[in-house]
Amino acid sequence: MSLRRQLTLSLITILILFAVNVGTHFWGSYARGESMVAYRNSVTATQLSTEVEQLLEDQRQQILILATLRETTDDQLGDAELQRAEEAIEKINSKIQKLGRLSHSVTELNYELLWNKSSALLKRWLKFYRSYNDPNIEMDMNDPLRFMDVSQSLQDLEERQAFIAAQRANIIDRTIALTDRITVIAFFASIFLTATLGYFLVSYTNTSFKRLKKGTERFGSGDLDYRITDIDDTGELGDLADAFNDMSDKLRNAIYDVHKARDAADEANEAKSMFLANVSHELRTPLNAIIGYSEMLHDELGDKHEINRAQFQQDLDTIIKSGRQLLNLIDDILDLSKIETGNMSLHCETFEPAALLLEAFDVLAPLLRNNSNELRRELGELPTFNNDAAKFRQIFTNLLSNANKFTDAGIITVSARELPVNPEWVEFTVHDTGIGMTSEQLSRVFDAFVQADSSTSATYGGTGLGLAICRDFCTLMGGSISAESKSGVGSTFTVILPSDPA
């Protein structure tokens, strides 16, 4: 028989002994408790019987006195005295009922006999009190037979209960003696088996723990390729060795994940550094234009020559255009900051999406002409929206601006249609025939601070915030945005929005 089986059998034996011991203890406690309850009930019933007997005797003496006074005098029984008499009889009746609740099955017949006789006697006494003031009703209250019958029944019940109490006391004594003997035998047997089991357990586990200690020391020294394989056990110690081996694997994987996360953090840090460089460039360009043209205008105003109003107007337009470009860039940064801090909220209002799209087309018309791009519109009948009009306008302004920026002498197509499965949702698409993106570039096109690659930022400018803001705005408005693209062919951005976010 293997050591595992010996330990298991020893443990089972000890558990059985403990179970017998505990079961005997609980059985003894239960039997003792039941017997004690019965014994206390018997004692209480005996005391209650004595009390009822005394109350009956007192009530009988009072009735005999009142019966004598009724025959010899014309005194009437007052309402207060009648109420006290009724309360006294009710008290006797309630105590007899309580005596019945304390009775055992073996005293049930005695109690029924007492109840029938006492009820008849108490009704007769109650009738006497209530008809005391009526001289036409004659009642002989001197007959002692009824009272003697009740008293005898009460004594019989009391003797029977005393007999039961003595029996219960004997049962308690026998139960205590039996449970004590069983408890002592099981206790010594448990000590013997526990000592035997401890000896085998110490000798068995000592070697295994030494091997486990060696494995943990190897793991602690950084040798995560070491494996604890010299424990001939398929039970808990074997499971513990497997757990240490799994821990080594997980620790090695965790270290790999940490290195990977560190690399990702470095990439993110590099992306933000590139973003800061791009932003500084994008901020510097309109600021240089604003400062340069402002200085030129200042110098022209200082000259005494006549001002060229057409050139002056053109320079002011350049300043305004640069200022708006700078404002849009700052707005993008503030919007992204609000989104990341959770402070961006919806301001719903009723608007026609087609009208806002046409406004965006008109605003971007000069940019389209500069890049020689053709804008095509495929707008069907669209439902009225109850959503954030400003964010709706900004989404498509950003998408159209991006499409125009990366397309030269091409075609930009904007289409919108209700979804057939649910007319309350509208699908908008912005398709261009520009430079397109690779699959790797497409996978991170909606990430903040990221553009397709460094050459894109150098060639086309921008901060990499526009599409990230579009994605967050679409989510905030209850919809979504997705992109499809192929390098050298063009890109398609699809926006799906509900007419009402609720």
What pLDDT does residue 397 have?
86
Chain-centroid distance of CA 174 in Å reads 54
Q: Which pair of tokens denotes residue 138?
A: 């004659």
What pLDDT does residue 1 have?
45
Residues 6+ apart with CB under 8 A from 235: 4
In a domain, 215, yes or no: no
Same domain, yes or no, for 285 and 401? Answer: no
The four Cα atoms 134, 137, 138, 139 give a dihedral, to 10 degrees, of -90
Q: What is the rounded distance in angstroms from the CA atom of residue 144 to the CA atom of residue 146?
A: 6
**Residue 498 — very low, low, confident or very high, per pLDDT cuts 50/70/90?**
very high
Among 309, 344, 379, the domain-final residue is 344
What pLDDT does residue 201 have?
67
H and E: helices and strands count for the chain: 11, 7
Q: Which pair of tokens denotes residue 60?
A: 């009988």
Same domain, yes or no, for 479 and 378? Answer: yes
In a domain, 480, yes or no: yes
Same domain, yes or no, for 256 and 165? Answer: no
Please give the average per-residue pLDDT across 479-494, as a whole number. 91
In a domain, 199, yes or no: no
In a domain, 302, yes or no: yes
Q: Which of 196, 121, 197 is nearest to 152 (CA)?
A: 121
Please give the average per-residue pLDDT across 312-321, as a whole number. 78
What pLDDT does residue 204 have?
65
In a domain, 314, yes or no: yes
Same domain, yes or no, for 278 and 178? Answer: no
102 pLDDT higher than 70: yes
415 pLDDT higher than 90: yes
Same domain, yes or no, for 482 and 351? Answer: yes
The CATH number of the domain where 19 resides is what? 1.20.120
**Residue 458 — very low, low, confident or very high, per pLDDT cuts 50/70/90?**
very low
What pLDDT does residue 493 have?
94
C-alpha angle 160-166-170 in degrees, rounded to nearest 5: 145
Same domain, yes or no, for 231 and 87? Answer: no
Same domain, yes or no, for 111 and 97? Answer: yes
Same domain, yes or no, for 308 and 378? Answer: no
Q: Which pair of tokens denotes residue 96?
A: 């007899």
Please give the average per-residue pLDDT across 124-142, as a whole number. 81
Q: Residue 432 is part of which domain span?
A: 346-498
Residues 6+ apart with CB under 8 A from 373: 404, 407, 408, 409, 410, 411, 412
Q: Summarize pLDDT for 159-201 with one digit per residue, the tens.
A: 877 777 777 777 777 777 777 787 778 777 778 877 777 776 6
Q: Which of 495, 377, 490 is nearest to 428 (CA)?
A: 495
Same domain, yes or no, for 439 and 327? Answer: no
In a domain, 203, yes or no: no
455 pLDDT higher than 60: no
Please give the average per-residue pLDDT across 225-237, as a whole number. 67
Our count of domains for the chain comes to 3
Q: Summarize pLDDT for 104-119 with one digit per residue, the tens.
A: 667 778 878 888 888 8
Of the spans 319-328, 342-351, 396-405, which averages the highest pLDDT? 396-405
In a domain, 370, yes or no: yes
The four Cα atoms 328, 331, 337, 343 give a dihedral, to 10 degrees, of -140
431: helix, strand or coil: strand
Among 315, 344, 373, the domain-final residue is 344
In a domain, 464, yes or no: yes
Q: Which of 344, 342, 324, 358 is nearest to 391 (CA)?
A: 344
Among 293, 322, 344, the domain-final residue is 344
The CATH number of the domain where 478 resides is what? 3.30.565.10
C-alpha angle 154-155-157 in degrees, rounded to nearest 5: 65
Same domain, yes or no, for 335 and 351? Answer: no
344: helix, strand or coil: coil
Q: Summarize pLDDT for 61-92 with one digit per residue, the tens.
A: 888 888 888 778 877 888 888 898 889 889 98
Q: What is the rounded distance in angstroms from the CA atom of residue 497 to the CA atom of residue 391?
A: 12
Same domain, yes or no, for 328 and 363? Answer: no
Burial (CB < 10 A; 0-12, 13-18, 19+), residue 107, is buried
Same domain, yes or no, for 47 and 190? Answer: yes
What angle, 0 to 180 degrees and rounded to 10, lies between the N-to-C axes of helices 3-72 and 145-220? Answer: 160
